[in-house]
Every structure is written in structure tokens, then in C-alpha cells.
Amino acid sequence: METTNHLTKLILKFYDELFDELLKNDLEPVITLSHFEIPYALYKKYGGFRNKQLIDYFVRFAETVMHRYKNKVKYWMTFNEINNQMDTFDDLLVWTNSAVIFEEGDNKEEVTIQAGLNELIASAKVVKLGKEINPNFQIGCMMAMVPVYPYTSHPKDSLAAKKVMERRFFFSDIHVRGEIPNYALSLWEKKNFSISYTKEELEVLKEGTVDYIGFSYYMSVAVTTLDEVEGESVRDFPKAKIVKNPYLRANDWGWQIDPDGLRYTLNMLHQRYNKPLFIVENGMGAYDEIEDDGSIQDDYRIEYLEEHIKAMQEAINSDGVDLIGYTPWGVIDIVSFGTGEMEKRYGFIYVDKDNQGNGTLERYKKKSFRWYQNVIAQNGLNE
């Protein structure tokens, strides 16, 4: 216990100094309480968020952090990209979201929904608690937004796109509206799922709705029911497939670049929820090369970000969207969570480390560093 307390003090000291340095430089800190790092011990002992005991552990953790930084931090989010895990074909996503590893005999979808609902209850409790600690806190959710277009004008493609988006909206619908949507209740009944929740927990969901919607945006996808088109199958829609959009280019990992899709997403969220919106991740993974003179000429990253910032400005100025902030992903190169690669780089700062772990960890400013420094200095692009 003494070792644990010592480590806790060291960690809190690190964040004390980090937030002080940010504030000293007129930078507003934004905290995500859980970003793919639920303690491994809580998986080993309880099985992650499939177990309701984690709700109280999360609330206690949040209480500690919020009390400590109640006068330094205004903007909070509870769980990062909480809706990723609805793609239950990929075990990685429910592990990173909820610290769940499926066991023999599990219905993967049912376990995922239960873990996600437990997180939503924990989030609502933290929203209520945060408002008691500091009524001026702005506490949001964080969603992964990948808009889904119908591949053709066939009505079945349009219906498939709508139903796929429902899976992504399940979490934000509860975060914002404070109740389990009918489409989810109907699905659970149809599949004979036994999702556990109490009347008291339903009341907590109503009382702990979020102030704003934070979300990540990197790309869009298209969906079709056409037999002759190959693609990735969609859960619950055996005839539907995720396919590439022929009108969009892609990065080296196949993520399709769609700045108009960001404007589309902002409008979609604004019309569905009428809440302030906050883009908290947006960027382009790319291979970066150091030139002989030590520079990194990442014009492709500048182009990507410039196009997406223009789309944001159009959503604000032409569409009336209430967009309160933007933070790109990311400032510095780190290992990509999705592929485990260091060489899939997003940052404005290059880190000398390769996929095998070789390198000096030296930092180098890319061309995009100076460009984005100018963007934030003038709070946007020159019109």
C-alpha cells in the first residue's frame, strides 16, 4: 500500500506540473478520464466493466481527480471513443474500451452491451458528482464518429446505412438523452439478451446527461447490399457490406479522406442533439521521412488538416453548428493503438523511434508544426 500511495503521489505531481505549465502558457487543459487504460488489475480481479463493481471504482477515481483539479480544469470527458466496442467482430475494441476479454460461452454482443451500459451508468454518476464539485464544470462524452453513406440510391442501401449508424448512436443517445433508446430495447428483446440494470440506474442516466459531445473524426465509409460488390460484412445485416467510396482518396492504411464528411457529421450531430460539439481528435496517419537537412516536409498532413478546418468553418458560418473546440490528433508521434505501429505517424513533432523500438527518441518539428502554430495563433484559417 505504501508503494501504491507513493506512485499515486508521483503521478498526481506530474499532472499538477503539466496543468500549471499549460495554464501558464494560456492553454486550456481538457481531461479524458479513461482513454484505453483501465488498470489491468481490475480486469484480473473483476473481468473489467462486465462487472458492475467497476462503476464505483471509476467514480472514486473521478472524484479524486476532479477535486484536485477543480480550479484548474473546466472541460472533462468520461470515456474515450466509448462506441468503438459496438463493432464486436473486433475483440481489441471491447478490451480497450471496457477491459473485457471474452470467455468461452460468452455471447460477445450481449457482454459488450452490458459492459457499455455499465460505463454509461458510471459516466452519468461522474457527471452528477462533477457538478457537485464545481457547477462550472463542462462534462462531455467522447464518441468515434465515422459517418456511413449509402453506396447507391437503392432504398436498401439507405436503410442499411441508417441502421449501422444506430449502433454508433446508441451511446451518445443515452449520454445526451438519458434513456435507453427503443431501437436498442427492441433488439435486446429480439435476441433474448438479459441486460442488467435497475430503476435507480435508469434514474442516474436521466440525471447525469452530458453538457457537450466530444468526438473523433478521421474518415467516412459507405455501405451496400449489392451482391456484386465486395466488402466487409456488417453485424445484424448479413447482406450489407462496408465498401470503399469511389469518390474519395485514402491514406496508406486505406482510411478514406473526407473533409465534407466532417461537415456532414457536425450537421448530423447538431440536428440530432442540439448540444455543443467538440472535435477532440482529427488527423492523418502517414509515413514521414526526415530529409537530408533534418526537415520533415509533411505537406500532405497540412493539406488534410486545412481541408478539415475549412469544413469546420463552413459548418459554423453557413450551417449554424455550435462547435466549441478543436484538438487535432496529435501533437507528437506515438504508437498507433489500432495497428501497433510507431511509423503510422500523426504528430506535428517527429519522434525518432521505429516499429521495432529502435531510435534515440529525439524530437524534430515537422513543417506542419509551424503551420499549425500559426493556425491556433489566429484561431483558424485566413478567410
Encode pLDDT of 269-284 as tens digits: 999 999 999 999 999 9
What is the arithmetic mean of pLDDT over 23-31?
A: 96
Q: Is residue 50 part of a domain?
A: no
Q: What is the mean pLDDT of the chain?
A: 95
Provide the domain limits for residue 288.
211-216+258-383
pLDDT in tens, 187-208: 999 999 999 999 999 999 999 9
Position with higher pLDDT, 330 vs 217: 217
Asked whether residue 267 carries a pLDDT value surpassing 70, the answer given is yes
- 373 inside domain: yes
Alpha-carbon torsion, ordered 199, 165, 43, 5, to 10 deg: -80
In a domain, 70, yes or no: no
* pLDDT at residue 2, as a whole number: 60
Q: Which of 16-25, 101-110, 318-327, 373-382 has the lowest mean pLDDT?
A: 373-382
DSSP assigned state of 25: T
Average pLDDT for 31-42: 96
17 is catalytic: no
Does the residue 164 lie in any domain? no
Q: At what angle do helices 367-377 and 299-317 cross, to 10 degrees?
A: 20
Is the pTM value of this prediction over 0.85? Answer: yes
pLDDT band per the 50, 70, 90 thresholds, residue 381: confident
In this model, does residue 20 exceed pLDDT 70? yes
Q: Report which secondary-structure segment, H or E, holds 363.
A: strand 363-365
Give the containing element (helix H, strand E) for 155: helix 155-177
Tell me: the pLDDT tens digits for 78-136?
Answer: 999 999 998 766 899 999 999 999 999 999 999 999 999 999 999 999 999 999 999 99
Whether 179 maps to a domain, the answer reads no
| Percentage of the chain modeled with pLDDT above 90 | 90
Question: Does residue 236 register a pLDDT over 70?
Answer: no
pLDDT at 1: 55
**Residue of 281, 289, 306, 314 marked active site:** 281
Is residue 350 included in any domain, yes or no?
yes
Q: Kindly list the distances between the CA atom of residue 128 and the CA atoms of 211, 333, 351, 379, in Å, as whole numbers in the listed order.
A: 11, 35, 40, 32
How many structural domains compose the chain? Answer: 1
Q: What is the pLDDT of residues 43-86, one digit of tens each?
A: 999 999 999 999 999 999 999 999 999 999 999 999 999 999 98
Q: Give 360's Cβ-side CA count (13 Å radius).
A: 4
149: in domain: no
User: Mean per-residue pLDDT for 155-179?
Assistant: 95
Residue 3 has pLDDT above 80, yes or no: no
Structure confidence at residue 111 (pLDDT): 97
pLDDT at 6: 82
Alpha-carbon distance of 145 to 315, in angstroms, equals: 16
Whether the per-residue pLDDT at 4 is higher than 90: the answer is: no
Average pLDDT over residues 243-254: 95
- Backbone dihedral angles phi then psi of residue 155, each to the nearest 5 degrees: -55, -35
pLDDT in tens, 344-356: 999 999 999 999 9
Question: CB under 8 Å to 51, separation ≥6 — which residues?
Answer: 118
Contact 177, 209 (CB under 8 A): yes
Q: What percent of the chain has pLDDT over 70?
A: 97
**E strands in 235-356:** 237-243, 277-281, 323-326, 349-351
Q: What is the mean pLDDT of residues 156-181?
A: 95
Residues whose CB falls within 8 Å of the CB of residue 295, separated by 6 or more in sequence, listed in order: 367
| Structural domain includes residue 287 | yes
Mean pLDDT across 336-351 = 96
